[in-house]
Amino acid sequence: MPKTTLIDCCIKKYAYREVSQIYQELEISVEGLSQSQVELMRENYGINRRF
């Protein structure tokens, strides 16, 4: 699947959903990530870096 098609698919997936459903699916809240979530993501994906 071309990258643009994948991005379009993701946008359409969330476009008509309630915000609360999106938060639930992404396992986040309006307050953002908890410190433990940040640490887990850093372990899994590494730290944010500038290119």
DSSP string, the chain: --HHHHHHHHHHHHHTS-HHHHHHHHT--TT---HHHHHHHHHHH------
The pLDDT of residue 50 = 83
The pLDDT of residue 7 = 81
Q: CA 47, CA 51: separation in Å to the nearest integer?
A: 12
The pLDDT of residue 2 = 66
Q: CA 37, CA 27: separation in Å to the nearest integer?
A: 9
pLDDT digits (tens, 9 = 90+) for 33-51: 899 999 999 999 999 888 7
pLDDT digits (tens, 9 = 90+) for 1-38: 666 787 888 888 889 899 999 999 988 889 988 999 99
